[in-house]
Chains A and B, each alone.
Chain A
Amino acid sequence: MIYQNERAIYVKIADRVCDDILSGKYQEDERVPSVRELAAEYEVNTNTVLRTFDILQRDDIIYQRRGIGVFVSPGARHKIRIARKQEFRKHELPEFLRRLRLLDMTIDDVVKAWKNNKREQ
């Protein structure tokens, strides 16, 4: 069993930028922090942040305006949410269901917890 399989730093930073786009900290067509600002925030090499920007640009989450900065693409939030849902269905949900069975719990327990949780919110 592999206990810990961390993701590469540039991927983790991409995840954090996506978190901030989802939460609305960076709005669409708004500027995201520069390479240097992100490098300082996460205490990493600037080339690491360049790789982060590479993959975010490839996935059309951000776009570059030469000499001005890097901006959130229109529709980025929607795209991130779809990608994360897929991720959830593929990895977290099967693991969650596996554990339910392992612990002899039923889907009714989950529904009950879901309703309680909703009431609290």
Chain B
Amino acid sequence: MSYILRTPKRKTNMIDVQNITFRYSSKSEPVFHNFCLQLEQNKVYGLLGENGTGKSTLLYLLMGLLRPEEGIITVDNADVSQRKRATLQQMYIVPEEFDLPQMRFTDYVATYRPFYPAFSDDILHRCMDEFHLPLDARLNQLSMGDKKKALMSFALATNVRYLLMDEPTNGLDLPSKKQFRKVIATTMTEERTLIIATHQLHDVEALLDHVLILQGSKLLLNASVADLCEQYTFDVRSNDALTDDVLYSERTPQGNATLSFRQPDDEETPLNLELLFNAAHKISLTANSPD
């Protein structure tokens, strides 16, 4: 285990989405039109957006499971739509819904691990242990939530550089959500990028490095959590404290949940992802783009 404190690292764009256009059929409106996005290494991205804004579609495009009609997506400089072995060895997606074959988990692992050269038994055991699942569980006898936990354990154990998860906390009960956060917090390594598409904002809030909000085939927001917390203050105020610096507020039983410009001398406040999400749909937030 390493204890390396922050060291400046050379930054490279590892996933590069360049001007893609995608539609499901030639008659339908494009889900993405001339869409661009860069994703860096060693970050946890939250991919947010209302229903039907293309979160899952984007994940499938990044994986090379769907192909854009225009533009290109490269992963470590390789075109994903070519589905090269070297690329696919470094990518894994946990879809929102899936079926698992009728076998024991141990057999499942033995069958699929050869595709992933960096596979780690240590991570697999730690995850299954944290989720309180036996390694020899029969996959067809597991509940939906337990199936998800088993597949997430496998996904994390593949040790791929790019891990994509679509609504990972759907179907998980409260203790499992807690276990999920612990598992993610302990298995994120310097070499890994995690992209979590979700509506369950509170489940992932404290895990994110970076927030992406999709709307109408565009990015409504593309900002790091550090930049957002540096620029904005999230607090709860009485009516008379809704001063000019307030950008957006919502009434709650505790008072007005408020997003405002942070004054340089004020201490930083923790990100309120739900408030940010709602605010971004009402007003234009111009947080710094990733550096």
Is the beta-carbon distance between B206 and A8 smaller than 8 angstroms?
Answer: no
A57 touching B237 in the complex, CB below 8 Å, given contacts A8-B270, A48-B206 = no
Interface footprint category on A: 20 to 34
What chain A residues lie within 8 Å of B1 (beta carbons)?
Answer: 34, 36
Specify the chain A residue showing the minimal Cβ separation from B190: A46
Instruction: Please pick, from A2, A9, A34, A46, the residue contacting B188 in the complex, using a CB distance under 8 A.
Output: A46
CA distance A28 to B2 in the complex (A): 21
Specify the chain B residue showing the minimal Cβ separation from A36: B186
CA distance A1 to B44 in the complex (A): 35
Specify the chain B residue showing the minimal Cβ separation from A1: B238
Is the beta-carbon distance between B236 and A40 smaller than 8 angstroms?
Answer: no
Is the beta-carbon distance between B6 and A4 smaller than 8 angstroms?
Answer: no
Fill in one digit per residue for A25-66: 1 if any B CB lies within 8 Å of its CB, else 0. 000000000111001101111111011011001000000101
Fill in one digit per residue for B178-216: 1 if any A CB lies within 8 Å of its CB, else 0. 100110011010000000000000000011110000000
What chain B residues lie within 8 Å of A51 (beta carbons)?
Answer: 6
CA distance A50 to B8 in the complex (A): 13
Is the beta-carbon distance between B206 and A1 smaller than 8 angstroms?
Answer: no
Specify the chain A residue showing the minimal Cβ separation from B179: A43
Specify the chain A residue showing the minimal Cβ separation from B208: A45
CA distance A57 to B201 in the complex (A): 32
Measured between C-beta atoms, what is the minimum distance from A99 to chain B in Å?
18
CA distance A70 to B188 in the complex (A): 19
What chain A residues lie within 8 Å of B229 (beta carbons)?
Answer: 8
Is the beta-carbon distance between A54 and B236 smaller than 8 angstroms?
Answer: no
A39, A50, A54 — most chain B CB neighbours (10 Å): A39
CA distance A48 to B267 in the complex (A): 16
A3 touching B185 in the complex, CB below 8 Å, given contacts A45-B208, A53-B5, A57-B5 = no
Instruction: Please pick, from A3, A8, A43, A69, the residue contacting B207 in the complex, using a CB distance under 8 A.
Output: A43
CA distance A86 to B188 in the complex (A): 38
What chain B residues lie within 8 Å of A7 (beta carbons)?
Answer: 267-270
What chain A residues lie within 8 Å of B269 (beta carbons)?
Answer: 5-8
CA distance A70 to B44 in the complex (A): 24
Residues 230-270 of B at the A interface (beta carbon under 8 Å):
233-238, 240-241, 254-255, 267-270
What chain A residues lie within 8 Å of B2 (beta carbons)?
Answer: 67
Q: Can you identify 6 A-B contacts, CB atoms within 8 angstroms?
A: A2-B237, A5-B236, A8-B229, A9-B206, A57-B5, A70-B3
16 further contact pairs, Cβ within 8 A, besides A5-B235, A44-B206? A1-B237, A6-B234, A7-B269, A8-B267, A11-B268, A40-B182, A45-B185, A45-B188, A46-B188, A48-B206, A53-B5, A54-B6, A64-B3, A66-B3, A67-B2, A70-B3
